[in-house]
């Protein structure tokens, strides 16, 4: 049997960080006392009418621009009808066949569409499990009800669980950097559902998909998709068939439970919302949205790669706009140093030094971009050794200040007063003939004891690379 290839599409709900709700003037909140942010509109009293939040439209246009989506010249809202206490009108105002944003792309994944809708209220199931089964009562908190959402739907372009999680991270960073959402998965301001199917590798027809609901971290998303792919592969390999259903992944047990089958799928009786007029963004609104876009991670990664950075290093720097800005400032301040070298310092030595000192980001640390740039330049010019550079960096992390000042205070410069490095090396070789013989015999590790002796003699100021090279030269290698 041919290998079964994973086919994954994602549906992402992004809660917009507008000041007020999608269709009423209630403030958005998180963690406040239940039902304080409510009004006749979001409690669906008789006679109320929705009014669209303009800020939400602008944010949706920004997301559309960031994802390169076509913007519909005229899109309308529909009613999605269903009975449940989290939906006070018994319908959700959403978009159906004319979403605000059409086809687009982020990274390697095509976007199918993105549309505006309102969030449901929050159900709290009283009881031990916190879930509906076995609860003794259900309470509704309408604070969340009516929060603006943008739902982004991808094409089924993802080919693995890790890839899906990785892409979802890129999407989160992209939306976060737009400043239109908190994109916090634990708080539910970013929610990811995955449509999962498998098919024989090399074929084009889509297999029957299942939908995995609401995984509240990227790790759970990856594990959930992995578990479901595994389940589907085993099912098909044992001659079974995948059934269309909606599944819940329990990260604690790693198990998948069916929420509803295809037969139980709702008939939402969509019809155009008569209480609202069409959204017709002017060309100016669309342009404002495009022009207000910051440089987004995907574009920044490409730019860094173009500057010679390794892709994984570029991704680390590009993910966080503050880190990216820090890196770019250091790159500007150094002289005669490649961005690639700067990138390695920021993601390597500096990150390690910060970790050792208890964490924090580069931008928040006491190490100013100017200080780091000076330090990198000193090392590149061999004014100090790489090893001394780390010492200086540790001091900068601890106390801040100026790299040159620390170099002078600690006496780390590899100046003339260090004596003739060549003669120190010669003396070290002469002092350890056994090691010298082993090196000549091809035991590379033996060089360590001679390097160590030189470093002791120079108090660590010598450049490790230079020392290695001199030892080998003097031994005729």
Partner 1 sequence: MAGILELTVAEAAAQIAATELSAEEYFDAWREAAAGDDLNAYLFHVEHPVDHQAMDGPLGGIPVAVKDIFCTEGTPTTAGSRILEGYRPPYTATAVRRLDAAGARVLGKTNMDEFAMGSSNENSAYGPVLNPWDRGRVPGGSSGGSAAAVAGGLAPCAIGTDTGGSIRQPASLCGIVGLKPTYGAISRYGMIAFASSLDQCGPFTRDVTDAALLLAAMEGRDPCDSTSVGIEGGILAPSREDLGGLRFGVPSDLAGAGFDAGVREVFEATLKWIEDLGGELAEVALPSAEHGISAYYVIAPAEASSNLARYDGVRYGVRAGGDGDLLQMYETTRSQGFGTEVKRRIMLGTYALSSGYYDAYYGQAQKVRTRIAEDFKAAFEKVDFVVTPTSPSVAFELGEKTADPLSMYLNDFFTVPMSLAGIPAISIPAGLAEPEGGGRQLPVGFQIAAPAFAEQKLLEASYALEQAIGFDAKPVGSDG
> What is the binding site for partner 1 (CB under 8 A)?
40, 43-52, 79, 81, 83, 85, 88-91, 138, 140, 267, 269-271, 274-277
**HSE of 127 in the Cβ direction (CA atoms, 13 Å)?**
13
Report the C-alpha gap between 160 and 7 in whole angstroms: 7
Q: 42 or 392, CB closer to Zn ion?
A: 42
Burial 158-192 (b: 16+ CB within 10 A, else e): beebebbbebbebbbbbbbbbebbbbebeebbbbb
Q: Which does 330 bind (CB under 5 to 8 A by kind): partner 1, Zn ion, none?
A: none
350 binds Zn ion (CB under 5 A): no
Shortest distance (Å) from residue 302 CB to partner 1: 42
Containing 113, the helix (H) or strand (E) segment is: strand 109-118
Shortest distance (Å) from residue 342 CB to partner 1: 53
Note whether 391 and 377 are within 8 A (CB): no
Shortest distance (Å) from residue 129 CB to partner 1: 17
The dihedrals phi and psi of 338, each to the nearest 5 degrees, come to -70, 145
Q: Which does 26 bind (CB under 5 to 8 A by kind): Zn ion, partner 1, none?
A: Zn ion
Q: Which does 187 bind (CB under 5 to 8 A by kind): Zn ion, partner 1, none?
A: none
Shortest distance (Å) from residue 42 CB to Zn ion: 3
Report the C-alpha gap between 389 and 276 in whole angstroms: 64
Report the C-alpha gap between 473 and 16 in whole angstroms: 64
194 binds Zn ion (CB under 5 A): no
Task: Please state, in angstroms and as integers, the Cα–Cα distance from residue 220 to each residue in 157, 233, 242, following that order.
Answer: 20, 20, 22
Containing 430, the helix (H) or strand (E) segment is: helix 421-431
Containing 64, the helix (H) or strand (E) segment is: helix 54-66
Q: Which does 120 bind (CB under 5 to 8 A by kind): Zn ion, partner 1, none?
A: none
Burial 367-381 (b: 16+ CB within 10 A, else e): bbbebbbbbbbbbbe
Q: 96 or 249, CB closer to partner 1?
A: 96
Shortest distance (Å) from residue 275 CB to Zn ion: 15
Q: Judging by DSSP bridges, how do beta strands 78-81 and 210-215 pair with one another?
A: unpaired
Tokens, residue 360: 């924090």
Q: Which does 442 bind (CB under 5 to 8 A by kind): partner 1, Zn ion, none?
A: none
Q: Which does 315 bind (CB under 5 to 8 A by kind): partner 1, Zn ion, none?
A: none
Q: 95 or 458, CB closer to partner 1?
A: 95
Q: Which does 110 bind (CB under 5 to 8 A by kind): partner 1, Zn ion, none?
A: none
Q: 187 or 264, CB closer to partner 1?
A: 264
Residue 468, burial from CB neighbour count under 10 angstroms (0-12, 13-18, 19+): middle
The dihedrals phi and psi of 20, each to the nearest 5 degrees, come to -125, 175
Q: 77 or 96, CB closer to Zn ion?
A: 77
Shortest distance (Å) from residue 214 CB to Zn ion: 24
Note whether 352 and 316 are within 8 A (CB): no
Q: Which does 49 bind (CB under 5 to 8 A by kind): partner 1, Zn ion, none?
A: partner 1
Shortest distance (Å) from residue 310 CB to partner 1: 52
Q: Which does 275 bind (CB under 5 to 8 A by kind): partner 1, Zn ion, none?
A: partner 1
Q: 140 or 379, CB closer to partner 1?
A: 140
Report the C-alpha gap between 104 and 81 in whole angstroms: 29
Note whether 205 and 226 are within 8 A (CB): no
Reduced to 3 states, what is the DSSP secondary structure of residue 116? Answer: strand
Shortest distance (Å) from residue 30 CB to partner 1: 22
Q: For the chain, first and last CA: distance in Å? A: 55
Look at the block and give the residue holding tokens 């390169």.
Answer: 68
Q: 54 or 295, CB closer to partner 1?
A: 54
Q: Judging by DSSP bridges, how do beta strands 245-250 and 210-215 pair with one another?
A: parallel
Q: 274 or 442, CB closer to partner 1?
A: 274
Q: Which does 42 bind (CB under 5 to 8 A by kind): partner 1, Zn ion, none?
A: Zn ion
Note whether 453 and 467 are within 8 A (CB): no
Shortest distance (Å) from residue 79 CB to partner 1: 5
Q: 45 or 234, CB closer to partner 1?
A: 45
Residues binding Zn ion: what is the number (CB under 5 A)? 5
Q: Of residues 4-63, which lie at the interface with Zn ion (CB under 5 A)?
A: 24, 26, 39, 41-42
Q: 95 or 323, CB closer to partner 1?
A: 95
Shortest distance (Å) from residue 43 CB to partner 1: 6
Containing 352, the helix (H) or strand (E) segment is: helix 351-356
Q: 83 or 416, CB closer to partner 1?
A: 83
Which residue ranges make up the site for Zn ion (CB under 5 A)? Answer: 24, 26, 39, 41-42
């Amino acid at each position: 049997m041919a290998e079964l290839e994973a086919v994954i599409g994602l549906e992402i709900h992004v809660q917009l960080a507008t000041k007020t709700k999608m269709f009423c003037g209630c403030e958005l909140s998180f963690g406040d006392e239940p039902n304080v942010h409510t009004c006749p509109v979001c409690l669906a009293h008789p006679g109320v009418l929705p009014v669209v939040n303009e800020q939400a439209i602008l944010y949706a246009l920004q997301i559309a621009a960031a994802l390169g989506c076509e913007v519909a010249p005229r899109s309308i809202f529909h009613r999605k009808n269903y009975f449940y206490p989290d939906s006070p009108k018994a319908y959700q105002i959403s978009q159906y066949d004319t979403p605000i944003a059409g086809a687009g792309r982020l990274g390697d994944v095509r976007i199918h569409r993105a549309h505006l809708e309102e969030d449901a209220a929050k159900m709290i199931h009283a009881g031990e499990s916190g879930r509906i089964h076995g609860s003794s009562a259900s309470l509704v908190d309408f604070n969340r009800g009516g929060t603006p959402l943008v739902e982004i739907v991808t094409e089924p372009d993802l080919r693995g669980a890790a890839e899906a999680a990785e892409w979802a991270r890129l999407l989160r960073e992209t939306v976060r950097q737009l400043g239109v959402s908190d994109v916090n998965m634990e708080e539910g301001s970013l929610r990811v559902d995955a449509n999962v199917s498998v098919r024989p590798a090399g074929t084009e027809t889509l297999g029957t998909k299942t939908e995995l609901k609401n995984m509240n971290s990227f790790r759970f998303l990856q594990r959930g998709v992995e578990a479901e792919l595994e389940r589907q592969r085993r099912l098909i390999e044992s001659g079974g068939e995948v059934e269309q259903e909606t599944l819940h992944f329990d990260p604690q047990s790693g198990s998948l439970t069916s929420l509803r089958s295809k037969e139980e799928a709702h008939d939402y009786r969509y019809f155009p919302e008569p209480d609202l007029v069409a959204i017709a963004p002017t060309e100016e609104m669309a342009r404002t949205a495009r022009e207000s876009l910051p440089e987004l991670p995907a574009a920044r990664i490409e730019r860094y790669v173009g500057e010679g950075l390794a892709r994984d290093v570029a991704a680390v720097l590009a993910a966080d706009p503050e880190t990216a800005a820090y890196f770019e400032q250091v790159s500007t301040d150094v002289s005669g140093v490649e961005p690639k070298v700067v990138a390695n310092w920021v993601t390597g030595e500096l990150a390690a030094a910060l970790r050792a000192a208890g964490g924090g980001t580069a931008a928040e640390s006491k190490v100013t971009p100017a200080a780091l740039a000076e330090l990198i330049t000193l090392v590149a010019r061999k004014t100090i050794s790489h090893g001394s550079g780390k010492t200086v960096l540790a001091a900068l992390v601890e106390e801040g200040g100026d790299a040159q000042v620390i170099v002078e205070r600690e006496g780390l410069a590899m100046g003339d007063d260090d004596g003739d490095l060549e003669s120190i090396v010669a003396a070290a070789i002469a002092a350890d003939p056994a090691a010298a013989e082993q090196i000549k015999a091809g035991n590379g590790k033996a060089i360590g004891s001679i390097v160590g002796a030189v470093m002791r003699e120079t108090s660590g100021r010598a450049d490790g690379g230079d020392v290695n090279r001199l030892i080998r030269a003097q031994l005729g290698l």
